[in-house]
């Protein structure tokens, strides 16, 4: 039996006459971490929005199956400023255990003790950590993330990447991470999909064991392969 977490078949999305997604077909397995890379305008965010069911206009004879339990992380945290951190994390949850889980999730992202803080008193990195806690407390089978660390400084970004990887290894959702950053994709993902003009032009398993390190042969070879596929040749 096929128990894929995500099934996409023949998915197209047009804006006017232009097909931004063009008959995409792929599956994502339970617990698989997929990075979606591609040039600006290649359709990554459009695909993520379709998977998140935020776009009802994907159509034609296309078909998408995603689990009901999915969470979405964006580049900005989208915390509600009039709720404190804890209440942002528990928002919409009604089960008896939600408060406990939220406190645990906040501790696991390093925000234990900050439950009563207001979002605008947190740094950008802290806000993203709260957003990550809010996503994971729902125990999603699918985590969709669109450049979640894109607005963070380099050091915070590294910390967030390792936090995300640790948490994902514990909770094991399937993940789709849209990123511009080939190295981020290679540090985190089991599989990289490369989009070009609405098509998936490369579907690459990344078999390097964790913890992964830049400047190791296997890592650098894959980075060069992906950069070449993106049409980037490195500066000498
Ligand atoms: N609502 C819309 N109306 C018209 N065109 C759109 C709309 N949303 C996206 N597009 C177009 O679809 C194409 C793909 O956009 P998308 O945001 O998916 O690209 P992307 O790969 O995520 O790009 P980036 O890396 O720059 O974020 C772009 O050319 C964009 O202009």
> For 172, which DSSP code?
-
| 80 lies in some domain | no
The best mutation among 21, 22, 24, 46 to test binding of ligand 1, ranked by most ligand atoms within 8 Å of the C-beta, falls on 46
| 159 lies in some domain | no
Rounded to two decimals, what is the model's pTM?
Answer: 0.94
Q: Is the ipTM of this complex over 0.95?
A: yes
| 225 lies in some domain | yes
CATH number at residue 35: 3.40.50.300
CB of 130 closer than 6 angstroms to any ligand 1 atom: no
CB of 171 closer than 6 angstroms to any ligand 1 atom: no
CB of 54 closer than 6 angstroms to any ligand 1 atom: no
CB of 41 closer than 6 angstroms to any ligand 1 atom: yes
| 77 lies in some domain | no
Give the pLDDT mean for 96-102: 92
Query: Would the pLDDT of 235 be above 60?
Result: no
The best mutation among 13, 19, 20 to test binding of ligand 1, ranked by most ligand atoms within 8 Å of the C-beta, falls on 20
Count the domains in the chain.
1
Alpha helices in 118-234 (DSSP H): 124-136, 154-171, 182-188, 217-229
Containing domain of residue 19, as a range? 1-69+142-152+174-236
Atom of ligand 1 nearest to the CA of 48: 18
Mean pLDDT of the chain: 92
How many separate helices (H) and strands (E) can be counted in the chain?
7, 9
| 21 lies in some domain | yes
CB of 45 closer than 6 angstroms to any ligand 1 atom: yes
In this prediction, residue 55 carries a pLDDT of 87
Cis link prior to 211 (omega < 30° from 0)?
yes
| 57 lies in some domain | yes
């Amino acid at each position: 039996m096929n128990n894929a977490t995500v099934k996409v078949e023949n998915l197209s999305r047009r804006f006017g006459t232009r097909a931004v997604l063009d008959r995409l077909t792929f599956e994502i397995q339970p617990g698989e971490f997929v990075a979606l890379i591609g040039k600006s305008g290649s359709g990554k965010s459009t695909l993520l929005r379709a998977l998140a069911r935020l776009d009802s206009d994907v159509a034609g004879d296309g078909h998408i199956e995603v689990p009901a339990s999915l969470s979405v992380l964006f580049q900005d945290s989208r915390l509600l400023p009039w709720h404190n951190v804890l209440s942002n994390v528990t928002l919409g949850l009604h089960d008896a255990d939600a408060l406990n889980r939220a406190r645990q999730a906040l501790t696991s992202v390093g925000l234990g003790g900050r439950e009563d803080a207001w979002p605008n008193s947190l740094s950008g990195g802290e806000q993203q950590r709260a957003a990550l806690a809010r996503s994971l407390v729902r125990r999603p089978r699918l985590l969709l993330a669109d450049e979640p660390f894109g607005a963070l400084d380099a050091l915070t970004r590294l910390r967030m990447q390792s936090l995300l990887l640790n948490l994902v290894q514990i909770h094991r959702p399937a993940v789709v991470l849209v990123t511009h950053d080939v190295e981020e994709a290679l540090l985190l993902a089991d599989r990289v999909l490369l989009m070009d003009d609405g098509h998936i032009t490369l579907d690459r398993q990344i078999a390097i064991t964790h913890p992964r390190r830049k400047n190791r042969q296997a890592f650098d070879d894959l980075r060069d392969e992906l950069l070449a596929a993106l049409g980037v040749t490195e500066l000498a």
